[in-house]
Every structure is written in structure tokens, then in C-alpha cells.
Structure 1
Amino acid sequence: MSTPSDTQFARPQIDARALLGLYDPADSVDWGPIRAAQLQAGGALALFLFAANLVAALAVAFLFASVTPLWQLACWGGFVAAVSLTVTFRRLTHRRRDAGRADVGEVRDTVLEGVALGVIWSVPSLLFASGAGPMAALGLWIALSILMVASAVSMAALPLATMAFLLIVGASSAAAMAINASAALAAAVLVYSALLMLVCFMRAKSLVVIRANEIALLERDETVSLLLRESEEDSGDWLWEIDVQRRVVRASPRFAYSVGIDPGAINGMPFLQVIAGPTWESGNFAAGLRTLADRLKNREAFRDLLVPVYVDGEERWWEMAASPRFDDHGSFIGFRGVGSDQTEARRSADKINRMARYDTLTGLPNRLLINEALGRAMAEADKWGSRCAFMMIDLDRFKAVNDSLGHPIGDRLLGRVSERLQQLVSENEVIGRLGGDEFAVVMRDATDSARVERLANAIIERLSVPYEVDQHTLYIGASVGVAVGPRDGRTAEMLIRSADLALYRSKDAGGGVYHAYEPQLHMVAEERRVLEIALRNALANDELHLNYQPVVDAVSGRLTGFEALVRWTHPELGVISPAKFVPLAEDARLIAPIGEWVLRTACEEAASWDEPVRIAVNVSPEQLHNPNFVTVVAQALSQSGLPADRLELEVTESVFMREGTGAVQVLDRVIDLGCRLSLDDFGTGYSSLGYLSRTRFSSIKIDRSFVQSASKGVREAIAIIRAVVALAQSLGMATTAEGVETEEEHRMVEGLGCSKVQGYYFGRPLPVEEARALASHERRDHAAA
């Protein structure tokens, strides 16, 4: 069965326009290599064409020296030399380029060369031969006809340029013959020129057909070679054999080719010298080569032995196997073995190994390689009685970048961070990325504690400099935790744990600092772990209860409601402060079930009180980021029978820091149920006035820190309270001052315009029975009034 490569030029149908270089036809023939061959052939006889032009120019000058001014001949000769030299240089440039393909434009542009030569050679016929007589015209024609033949021979591969030259020179010569000789001679010149043009076209066509068939044969040979190579590579790559003196005998051509040595010269060479290559003279052998030498020396069979080999300056990896050979008498006569080139497999394995140990985003060592580096550093420190160190680095405010600008920007920012970190470390440190926005540094020698401190501070300072990423100016920071081995951990795992605890302390301190590990950090972590385990069972074991802190009218002192506050009493650990277990519940994702329990319990209790006493319940951001929270509120109101307007939900400003989570929509739906909404701890966090205008808050709670500062006469705190009161009044909201503990503070916040107050002056958080009694007393006082 024939293929296109076999048959496409069997009966060539060459388009004349394509042959001349006027266009590339849309057929199965690939004209790129053919165009390149045309240019190469044109350059092959470029010097011959240049010599022919010079010889013809000298003949013309000799012919017309007596009838033409010498300055004209000199000027014309100079032009001939310049044009022919330019054409020669262009042809040689194409030849030296050694390109495998050329486009149609490159071939088409050669017509300018033919036109330029034709124009310059038409000058003698049209200028010098005028009035010179028939013999001079005949002599000129003889010189030009020889030049035309030489051009047709040297430029036949580029028919468009050649035919343009022949046409111009032939037409000008015919005109000279018609003027100076006879019309018959002019007609003969035209016929001669036409025949030369036809011969040139046919020769160019033959050259194209030959080149096309060569390309087809080459493609077929490459296909056969590939098939043979695949068949050979399915088995051993090559065989080798050595004698008792470990010299190569009967080397196979494939073996000689593999080591880059002529097959005729390799026999008799020392086998190890052949394998060692350039390292033979220096004696700096690789471990695999030494193992091979030992096996050969001890006459031991071996297999799957990887040996590095240098061939033409490139490192290759061979897998070799061999067995010793013995003659009929049992005497050792050498080795015979097989080898195969495993370079690509080795490179693939190295690539996989790198991917397993390096982070694909930053190119830094990953957690696996960092652990290995730390293990080696600790082993060295233990061996020499020195110290090593491990730093954990966590980026501050990086999550905000991901949430607001997207992960692609975050990934590019991590790349910039890794670049800065690499600029800070020396050969003593290994830096890597543990994952997310966490990085780590292994210090092999940490005996100088001041150096450890300087590096930690340098990391924080360098990473805190603003970043320019995709026209965004990004501000982040870094927190660092440091542990020194073996003091802070005898194993890599223990040292990493210690550094992690130190990092937690840096984060708890607000970030942007570094802390070294201290033993009490482990105690704090252990306490936290025990508390978390106990907290997970607190609800099921009925260990949580609610206290209720009164909220009163600032002017009349009348009770308006209670704030429900969760408390935890563990049977063994005793009373645990909310400052401990509430943040722990948020970190452990327990705040949602605890918050739901508080809401339902508070609604059931408040339903037993007489109106108009309200109940306020704190709601965490985690609860509001759950769309099902509205259903939880609706069920709590329905099951308890509490009117919706007597339930007030208190949220902090932190709920508005995460945009796109639907928290604002959840609040709007809760308000639509009829519940009231209060903004707690106003002024201590995000403080977005935009959310005050878009969210229907019923009241604003002023944080106790402002109340205490104002009671001490701090003018800024007084100004802030006045501003908040004015803002709330303009928006139709009430204001509640928290943390009022004395009569003076009460009078102060009343004078500043606060509508409600809350604090120890009016009552501490009360157990449920006392809260009920206070609510009943308030109802009786209200009825008596």
C-alpha cells in the first residue's frame, strides 16, 4: 500500500506559479523545505556568477574602450561590481543560514536581484553600442550571450530571478541589434533568449522534483529508523565483553556508539577507562564506578548497577549487568554483560523526587524536605554538642488578601514572599514552605542566639514591606516562633511542636513579633487541649448555664431587659472563665452549637417574664455566616412563645470584616422576623459607618473601655461617646453604655446622652432565679406606678 510520501512526486504536477515563487499552493506538498533547497542551490554557484559578471564587464570595457569615454565605462563597471557583489553576498547569506525551511517571500524577493542585474547589463546595449557599428554590436552580443548562459546555469534554481534577467538583457540586446545591425539578427536574439528562459524553467522544475523526492525518501527512512529503534529498545540496549585484563573485546557497534568511540578503536581499550571517560585521568570516580571496579576485581556477578558515564561532556546513567566467564577448564576468561541507557528514566525519577520534596508554587523545599533537613541538623547538633534552631513563620493578614482579591493574587504574593525570604538566608539556613501561608527555616548552627534573634527580626521586617502585585499595593506582616534544639525538643517532631507553640504566642500577641519557646507554653497548650476535650462534652453533660445581667434606663433607672451570658462550671476543673472557653469554642468550631443552646435557653426563660423586659443574646460571626441561623431563631421564638420584639441579638463589628459570606443578608432576615439588633463593642473593631446605615440596628453599645476612660477625664473618650450618641440619635437608635460601675460613671454617661446603661453599679450577672425575682419586682413596681 503506497503512502503520500511514496507517491506524491511519482508523477510530478508542479504548478508553474508555485515553481516561480509567486504563491504556495494548498496541496499535500510541503514547499518549505523545497524553497530552502532553491535558495541553497542559488548560493552554491554565487561566486561563479560573480566571476562571470566581472569577466563579462572586462570584455565589454575592452570592446568599447575606443568609442566610449573612459569615465562612463568606469562608472558602469563600478555599478556592475556593486550589484553583482550585493547579489553574491545575499546568495551566500542564504547558504550559510542552513535553514531547513523557507517561505515563498524569500524566493519571490530574489526577482529583485535578477532585475537589478538585467538593468545594469542593458546599459551597454542601449548606450555604448549606439553608433558603434555592426561589429561592435555583434561582439557585445557574444559577450552577453555567454553571460546569459552562465546566469542560466548558476541561477536556474531560482527561475523567477533568472528569467527576469534573461528577459531584460535579451530585449535590450535585440533592440541594439535592430538599431545597429538588422531586424533578422534582433529576431534571432529574441528567439535565443526565449529558448534560454524555457531551458531555465525546465531545469528549475527538475531540481524541484528531485528535491521533493529526496524529502519523501528521507521521511520514509526516518519512519523505518524509528520503527527499528523501538524494536531494539524493547530489549537490552547493547552488549559488552572484556577479557582477563579487563580490556574490551568484540565490542558491539551500539556499545561503541553509546560511549562515543569509533568501533574500530574501542577494542583493546581498558573497560574502566572507556566507562570513566574524562574522570579517568583525574581519578575522581563516582561511587557507582568504584562499585563496578570492585565487582570486576572480585569476579562477582552483578545486575541493576547504576553507573554515571560522561559522553561528549554530558552525564548519562547506565544500568549494567554482567557475569564472569570461564573456559572448559574452569579458568576465568573475562566478563560478558549487557547495558542500557537509563538517563531518561533517571531524570524522570529525579523530577518526581524533586516534585515530592519541593513546593510547586514557590520552588522552595516543602514540608517533607524541611523535616529531613531538620533531622540532619539535629543529628549534627547532637554529634558535635552544638545547637540547631527551627523557625515557623506565619503571614499576618494574608487571608484578607485571598478573600478580597482572589487566590491567583494570593499565589503571586506567596511567590514574592519566598523571594524575599531566600534573600535573607545563608548557607547555614534552609528555608521552605510548609503549606498555605506558613513557612519555616532550619538553622544548622544556632549556637549564637543573637544571630537567631537577628534573623527572626529581619524576616518580620522584610516581609512587612508593602508588595506591588498586579497594580495592587498589599500590606501583610509576619509572626515567627522559634525553638532551639536539642534544648526545646530532642526529636524533629518535638522541636516543630515547640516552634508551633511559640508561633501561637506571637499570633496571640497581635502578630508582627517573634517569640522563642518557653516551657510554660507547653503547659498552656496542654491546658487548652484538656479544656477543648471537656468543652466538647459540656453541653451533653449539662455543665453550661446562663447568667443574666440587667440593662436599665439611664434616666429613670428602670429595668428594660437582661443580657444572657453563658457560664461553664466543670465538675473537676471548677468555674472556667468565659475569656478562656469562648475563644476556644470559636477555634474548635463549637461556638455554633453552644450559641444555639444559649439562644433557645434564653428565649424559654424570657418567655416566663412579663413584658416589657427584653432578653439580649450575643451572636458570634460564625453563626451569622450560616444561612440556617434564621431558621434557628424562628424555631427558638416559636417553641418558647417569646414575642420577636422582646429578643435582641447582639453582634460585634467583626462580622462585617468578611464580605461575601451573606452575614448582612442573614441579619436582614432576622430583623424581618421582628427581632431587634444591637451593635456590641462599637468603636473597638472594624467601625464601618456604612454598615450602620445599611443595617437596621436598634441600638449601639459603647464599649466599657470608653466609659472607664471618660470617667478619668480622657477627652478623646468623652468626644467619642458624644459622637456615638449623636450618630445613634440621628439614625434613630438607642445607646447603651457598658461597664458602668459607680454612680459618677452613671451620671456621666447620662449627661452625655446615653439612653441605657449596663454594669456592676446596677447589678452583676445574676443566676436565673434572681433574674426572675428582679423581673417580677420590676413588673410590680411598674403596675403600682
Structure 2
Amino acid sequence: MPLPAELARLPGKAVASSTATRHSLLFMAALLLLLFVVTSGGLVQIALQQNARATEQSLFYLDKAIRAREKSILATLKDYAYWGEAYRNLHVTVNYEWAYTRQNLGPSLFQDFAYEGVFVVDPQGRTSYSVVNGQRVSSELGQWLGQDIDELLEQARRQTEDEEPVVGFAQVGGQAALLAATGFTTGGDPQVGIQTGPPSLLLFVDLLTPAKLQALGQDFGVDNLRLVAAPADPQASPTLSLTSVGAGPLWLHWEPAQPGRQLLYLILPLLGLGGAIFALITWLNLRWAIASAREVDASYASLYASQQALAASELRFRDVAEAASDWIWEADAELRLTYLSTRFQTLTGHPVSSWLGRPLSELMQFPGGLDAWLQGCNSHAMASHNCECQYRDLDGELRTCHLTLLRIEDGPMADGYRGTVSDITDELQAQARIEHLLLHDALTGLPNRNRMQAFLEGKLKALSSASKPLVMLSIDLDRFKPVNDSFGHEVGDQVLAEVSQRLRFALRDGDLVARMGNDEFILIVCGIAAAQEVERLCARLIAGIEQPFNIGSHTIFLGASIGVAMSPADTSEADELLRFADIALYQAKGIGQSSWCFYAKDMNERVIERRQLESDLRQALANEELRLVLQPRYSVSSQRIVAAEALVRWQHPQRGLLGPDSFIAIAESTGLIIPLSAWVLRAACREALSWSEALIVSVNLSPVEFRRGQLVAQIRAVLEETGLPAHRLELELTESVMVEDAEGALALMLELKGLGVRLSMDDFGTGYSSLSYLRTFPFDGLKIDRSFMTDLHAAENSQAIIQAIIGLGRALALTVTAEGVETQEQLDLLRKYGCDEAQGYFLSRPMPPEALRLLC
């Protein structure tokens, strides 16, 4: 009996099904293999791109480092070449004593800046002055460099008139070298005559030794920076080419970071393992499908397998939809929501069921409205469209998202829509925080210099058209440095944060307060022009800052100095307004703490005059213009000289004899106080050798000198050089050296006592904690400040203070000296109260050393 036609066709169906199944599975295996290859290739490409970005970044920072080094050597070269004294002593004539011996253009350039070569080339091209590794030599420039750089020197001569130095690279002794050259100019000094003809050239040579290259690379995050020969393949090896003034370029090589290599080492093995597992599963499925298809019920098994495959596909879609970071939506032709993935509830907090059937426009807020956006979408023939919109989550928070929309062309949902929604709120907030950090100070949250500059320029531009005033206040905190030194930077940071809050509260909306540096702030105030209003604001700001700061268990007191510049009264340029405010601040700090000062045009002249006086003071030390004077100190009981205080005067060639008030502050602010004090100490010790052996010489120490750390060695060297017994030298210290660093001051004073010298506290009674200092520190004497002597005879409270200080000194076995004695009555009262010594104009004025010898 023949089989039914349907049953007879089953074997053929089974064979066809088996072949189709085998081909399908082979195609899937090939597709998976292709996917694996594409994924691996993409991963390798990403790794290579990461490595390339790392190389580009290191190249950027290396180029930035080279430019910074060029800028540094050019700035130093300008300071020395565009200087009237250098023009006179190295172009008009070659003064080796001025240039090398006085170290105006000598060893200090090697010691301070590590410039191995300093050369002066005269207009004829001869090397007239050369310093190599800090030593003066007679080498010719071309001989030392080993090459001809006439082209660079000629360019430097051409650009001298514009005061534009030139810079270039060369290879010197197998090492890269940075060359900077320019011609000497008078620097605008009217006292220096200008010579006709081409100028002499000043050239600095900075050898980029292996050690310098390593340090330069480490400063900018570039590893193993070194000079190499020309690379065989510049594309494969990260190098930076430096154009050389000699033959051929110079090549810098370094080891760039390789982030992509780590990515490959981590991901590729996992990807290979996954591919092997997929291949194994595919092979097993192929064997199983072929065996099943050969059975009689292959057609039914194939149908069943198809149903299972469909179910698996739906399950995979559901799993992918729920595992994705986005949520998926579908809507009908009227844009009423028909499907929302369960990820919707996870991200928004809203139940899915509460939004099904509701319009999409109720959930999402589109810019300009949903209808307007859809019109724009329909006018562009694209497969999908996207826009940035907003929605509110279950807590009412407004969230920003990225929505994609795709129109469904066929199937049950024809003319409907589907798409995805990505929440980008956190990304936008992170971007906003980054932009905020770029324009604001991280510690205080105040605008930084960049934000202040933009705000100031915008305000000046806006106010100039309306002719409205603008006031800039430059604020510097008084007594802030001891806060960091005494309590630590954490407390200092909290104080700065509190100061910023107080400044914010003192200003109106529309004004700005910015932090410029450590304890420097800038305030920009609009709409006030009267000086009285500005002064009231300054007084209010200072009063706010002077309120105590309670940080933890510490109570801290600060003050503030304020410099004021106004626009358009002073200037309408932003940079000049900042500079004028700084000049006014400098004047305010000179007046005293907690004060303010308005900018005046003559302040700029005084700054220039001060700079000239600073330059003259540098020459005074070398030209022996300092003069030693001595003021005797007498025993109150016997009225005999027991000591003399060493003082200094400056015999200025144009201004005559200057007292210390004219130049000591400049010397302290510029560091010249160190050589000046060394001169006074040496001269005083030598002079004391001509006195009676019972007399003591007293020398004042500057707080700046006290902090430098070489004081003990310097005093020991002077005592050994002059032969003066240590017990005949007395050092006078002010209380400020102990306020700034009490522990360090005590250790240094104990070392000085170890030398055998005497220590005396100067200006006693003017500090708030002098009593504790006398008990803690190893003083031999104290000097009563002259302010207590002014009305000693008439004021009973002054007499009581003097009597108390003398009693305190006696109790602590200290020698008490009264300064500023100007009348017989004052001397009689000091004798009555048992004061040990006295000093003042009534007894003797400061006198030259030869006059004091006659009294000894």
C-alpha cells in the first residue's frame, strides 16, 4: 500500500531541511567568525588610537616644555641685555671687573640659571667676553660651539632695535643646546650715551644635558626624554625635531605611554575565549540539527525548533531591552504610548502601566513643542531622528535626555513610532562642573583670574558706552603667613574660605569678588564714584576681615590692606587697572596694616624711583658707598661708655648721605639686606678691635637675614676673620623673628649662644607676647623702646611701665637699656629706677668711627 503523498514527501523534506539547517548553521558560524574578526580589528584599532592619542599628548606637553624653556632664557636675556649698565660696561667698553668680579654678568648665571655659556660678541664679530661653566675664559664663540652661527647673530643684530631677541638650537659636543642672542641696548637709561654703529651681542647657551632633559620631561610627564640620531622611521618612533642653526635637525626621543597595549592584553584573551565557546556551541548544534533532520519527524522537529528559536529571539530582545542603559518606547500613529520597556520604571521611577495609552507629549518636554519637532522630522527624509528634551521623574526632578524616533513603515504597528531614550543629566552636570572649575577657584569657589579678566573686560566695555564708573579693589591679607606656619595649611585654607564668604556678603548683586593667589583677592564694584563711598566700603571690608576667625580650637585675627583704582578716572584698560590697583595696594601696605590707598599718578613715579634706588643700592655695595657710624651706650650709674651700636649710612653719589629709613626696607624686600648686613657686621667687628677690651659692639639683625639659615656660619666666619672675641659682639633682634617661627628662632638663637655672643631684644614693649619670649628665649638684655621715653617725665603711667620693665629685667638677670634718652630729667628718672644703660641724643648722637675712638 503506497504511502500518503504527504508522508512520502517527508524524507525529501527531511533531506532538504537537513541541508538548509547545515547551511544556516555554517552561515551563522561564518557570521560569528566575521563578527569576532571585526570586533578584534576594532579593538586593535581603538588600542592603536589610544596609543596615538597618548603619543600626541606627550608631544604636546614636550613642545610646551621646550617653549617654556625658550621663554625663560629669553626673559633672562632681556633683563641683562636691555640694561644701561651692561651697555656701558660690555659694549661701550669691556669692563671685566664689573661683569665678572662683581657678578653682574658672571658666575651667577651658571649657578642660578645653569647657563653653561655666556658670550659677548663685538660689532666686528670677535668674542670680547666669555664665561663657560661659571669661569671666565678666553675662548672664541665659534671655537667653543664647534660651528658657525653667523646667521643667528646677524638676525639678532637686525632685531636689536625692536628689542626682540632670537633663539635657536644647536648641537654642542654631542648635546642639544638652546641658544639665545640679542644686542645690548641702554634700556631707556638717559644717563647712558648711545653709540653709533651695530651693537655688541649677548649670547646665552643652555646645554640640554641628559640630566636636564630627564628633569624637563619629568616636569611635563614625559618619560626618558633624550637626544638621539635621526630615527629610521619617524612615524613608528615618537620624536620631536628641533631646527638647528647648524647642519641637520636635532631629534628628541621619549617613551610614550601605551594605554592601548593594556587594553589588548585584557580584552583579547576574553574575546578569544568567548569566540571559542561560541564555535564549540555552533559545532555541537550543527551535529544535533543534522542528526535530528534525518529522522522521520524532521519536519515537525524543524517546526518546533523554529518556534523555539522565535521564543529565544523574543527573550533575547527582552533581555537586551532591560539590560540596556536606555529605555525603549513605541507609540501609535497618534503618538500614544503602546510599549515601554521595564527599564523605563528603573530610570524614571514611574510605573509602566501609568503611562501606557497616554500621549508622548505629556511625558516629554520638547523644545518648541512636539508638533513643531515632528514637522521638522517629516521635512527631512532620514531613517531616524533625535533631539534633546526633558522629563520629570517620580520625585519631580527635571531630567535631560536624548530621544531617538523611527517611523514604522509596515507590520501591525505601521504608521506608528518607536525609539529609545538616553538620560544625559549626569553627563551635562559633569560638564557644567568642569566648566565651573575652569573659571573658579577650587578652594573658595570664587571666580579665578580667567573669570575675573573676562568679567572686567565685559564690564569696562559695557560701562564705557554708558559713562558709568567702576572701582577695583586689590586686597591682601595682613598676618596670614604666620597662620599657615603656626596652625598648618588646613587651618589656613579654612580661613581663606571664611574670608571669601565675608567678602561675598559685603558686595551687591552684579559685583564680583575673585581670588587671585594665596591671600590676594580682587573686588570689582560698579556704580560708585564718590571717594567717600569707596572709603566706607573699604572700612566695611577691613572691619569684616578683622572679626576673629574661630577655626576649631583656634581664634585667629587678621587684617587687610586695600589698593583702589577707578575707571575711567584712572584708566579704562583692564590690564592697567589691575596694575594701578596693585601699585595702590603696595602703597597701602607701606602705610601700615589695615589701611587703604587710592591710586595716584605720582605712585607710578615713586615705583620707578624705588626701582632706581634698588639698582643704585646694588652698585653701592660694590662701589664702597656704605659708611659705618656708631652710637655710644652709657652706663646710667657711672655715665661711662659700655657699648656702641653699629649703624649704617649710604653716601649716594647724587642724593648725598642717606639714612637707613631710605634704603633698609628696599634691601629687605629685594634680599640685598644679606650682603648689606654682612658688610655692617664685618666693619663693626673690625672697628671694635681698636677700642678698649671692655667695650661691646652691638649689631642689628634683620628678620629676613634671620630666616635665611646661614646666619650662624656667617657670624662664626666674621669672628674668625676679624679676631674679635665673641663675648664683645651683641646681636639685637626684633620680636618679629620669633612671631613668624618660634621653634626655628629658638633653635637658631641657641646656636648663636653656642658661639659665645650676646643676644638682646630690641624695641621691647611693642609686641603682644614679649614677656613669654623673655622667659623662653636665651636673651642677655633688652632695650626699652623709645616710645616709652617721650613723655616719661610728665606721664605717671609711662613711669610705671618703665619701672615694671626694669624690675622684670632685673628678675630675669637681663641688662636693661633705655633708648631715646633726650633730656636730663629722663636720665635722672632712669637712674632712680635702677636702669642699667641708656642711649640717646642727649648722651651722644651717632658718630664716625674715628670720633668714637677719641672717646674710648
Whether TM exceeds 0.5 here: the answer is: yes
Among candidates 518, 524, 527, match of residue 436 of structure 1: 518
1:682 corresponds to 2:781: no
Q: Tell me, yes or no, if structure 1 residue 357 matches structure 2 residue 357.
A: no
1:722 equivalenced with 2:803 (yes/no): yes
1:458 aligns with 2:540: yes
Distance 2:607 2:811 in 1: 48
Q: Return the alpha-carbon distance in structure 1 between the equivalents of residues 317 and 663 of structure 2.
A: 75
1:774 counterpart = 2:856:
no
Instruction: Find out whether 1:446 has 2:528 as its counterpart.
Output: yes
Matched with 1:499 is 581
Amino acid at match of 1:774: L
Deviation sequence 1:283-340 (CA, Å, 0-9, x none): 9xxxxxx9x99x99999x9xxx9988889899899999xxxxxxxxxxxxxxxxxx99
Task: Rate the CA distance shift 1:477–1:699 in 2: closer, same or farther, 3 A.
Answer: closer
> What is the CA-CA distance between 1:640 and the residue it aligns to?
0.5
Distance in 2 separating the partners of 1:227 and 1:747:
105
Aligned partners of 2:630 and 2:852 also within 8 Å: no
Say if 2:722 is the partner of 1:640. Answer: yes
Is 1:393–1:481's contact at 8 Å kept on the other side of the alignment?
A: yes
Q: Does 1:740 align with 2:821?
A: yes
Q: 2:463 aligns with which of 363, 370, 381?
A: 381
Change (3 A) 1:601 1:279: same
* 8 A contact 1:428–1:445 mirrored in 2: no
Which piece of structure 1 moves more, 372-381 or 632-641? 372-381
Range with bigger deviation, 595-604 or 691-700: 691-700
Q: Does 1:480 align with 2:562?
A: yes
| Structure 1 or 2: more helix by fraction | 1
CA contact (8 A) 1:657 1:686 kept: no
Give the Cα–Cα distance (whole angstroms) in 2 for the partners of residues 297 and 519 of structure 1: 68
Determine which of 688, 691, 700 is the counterpart of 1:609.
691
Alpha-carbon distance in 2 for matches of 1:613, 1:665? 28
**Cα 1:367–1:748 shift into 2, 3 Å:** same
Name 1:580's counterpart in structure 2.
662
Greater percentage in strand: 2
Corresponding residue for residue 646 of structure 2: 564
- Show CA shifts across 1:628-683 (max 9, x none): 32121111101111111111111122222124442122222222222122222211
RMSD: 5.1
Q: Tell me the amino acid that sits aligned with residue 473 of structure 1.
A: T
In 1, Cα distance between the equivalents of 2:531 and 2:700?
46
CA distance in 1, matches of 2:765, 2:738: 13
For residues 663 and 481 of structure 1, do their structure 2 counterparts lie closer, same or farther at Cα, with a shift above 3 Å needed? same
Give the letter for the 2:607 counterpart: A
Match for 1:604: what amino acid?
A: R
**Mean alpha-carbon deviation: is it higher for 729-738 or for 506-515?**
506-515
CA distance in 1, matches of 2:781, 2:590: 31
How far apart, CA to CA, are the structure 1 residues paired with 2:317 and 2:619? 74
Instruction: Flag the 1:507–1:745 CA change in 2: closer, same or farther, 3 A.
Output: same
Q: How does 1:290-309 map to 2 (within 5 A)?
A: none
Q: Per the alignment, in what secondary structure is the counterpart of residue 608 of structure 1?
A: coil
Amino acid at match of 2:745: A
Query: What is aligned with 1:621?
Result: 703
TM superposition shift of 1:226: 14
Q: 1:676 to 1:278 in 2, by over 3 A?
A: same
TM-score (norm 2): 0.52
Cα 1:226–1:448 shift into 2, 3 Å: farther
Q: Pick from 599, 602, 613 the counterpart of residue 520 of structure 1.
A: 602
Mapped pair 1:673 → 2:755? yes
How far off its partner does 1:458 sit?
2.6
Query: Is the deviation greater in 562-571 or in 343-352?
Result: 343-352
Identical amino acids, percent of aligned pairs: 38
**Distance in 1, Cα, partners of 2:533 & 2:822:** 50
From 795, 817, 837, give the equivalent of 1:756: 837
Q: Distance in 1 between matches of 2:774 and 2:855?
A: 32
- Paired position in structure 2 for 1:280: 368
State how far apart, in whole Å, the 2-side matches of 1:358 and 1:380 are: 23
SS at match of 1:435: coil
What letter matches 1:361 in structure 2? L
Kept in 1: contact 2:479–2:559 (CA 8 A): yes
Q: Secondary structure at the match of 2:792?
A: helix
Q: Amino acid of the residue matched to residue 352 of structure 1? A: I
Could you list the runs of 5+ residues in structure 2 that have no partner in the other structure?
1-311, 329-334, 353-358, 404-420
Pair 1:548 & 2:636 matched: no
> CA offsets, 1:113-156, max 9 Å, x none?
xxxxxxxxxxxxxxxxxxxxxxxxxxxxxxxxxxxxxxxxxxxx
Partner SS for 2:740: coil
Q: How does 1:362-373 map to 2 (within 5 A)?
A: 362-373=444-455
The structural deviation recorded for 1:381 is 1.6
The alpha carbon displacement at 1:565 in A equals 0.6
Aligned twin of 2:782: 700
Contact 2:389 2:402 survives alignment (8 Å): no
Q: Given residue 758 of structure 1, which amino acid in structure 2 is its aligned partner?
A: Q
C-alpha deviation, 1:746, in angstroms: 3.5
Hey, what's the Cα distance between the residues in 2 that align with 1:603 and 1:661?
29
SS of match in other structure, 1:657 = helix
1:143-292 to 2 correspondence within 5 Å?
278-281=366-369
Listed as ranges, the gaps of 5+ residues in structure 1 are 1-219, 239-247, 263-268, 284-289, 321-338, 780-785
* Alignment TM-score, normalising by the size of structure 1: 0.56
Aligned-partner residue type, residue 647 of structure 1: L
Cα distance change of structure 1 residues 705 and 456 upon mapping to structure 2, 3 Å threshold: closer
2 CA distance for matches of 1:451 and 1:626?
44
Structure 1 equivalent of residue 682 of structure 2: 600
Please list, as runs of the form range in 1=range in 2, the aligned pairs for 1:41-120 lying within 5 A after superposition: none
Query: 1:485 deviation in Å?
Result: 1.0
TM-superposed CA distance for 1:501, in Å, is: 3.0
Contact 1:392 1:499 in 2 (8 A): yes
Deviation of 1:590 after TM superposition, in Å, equals: 2.8
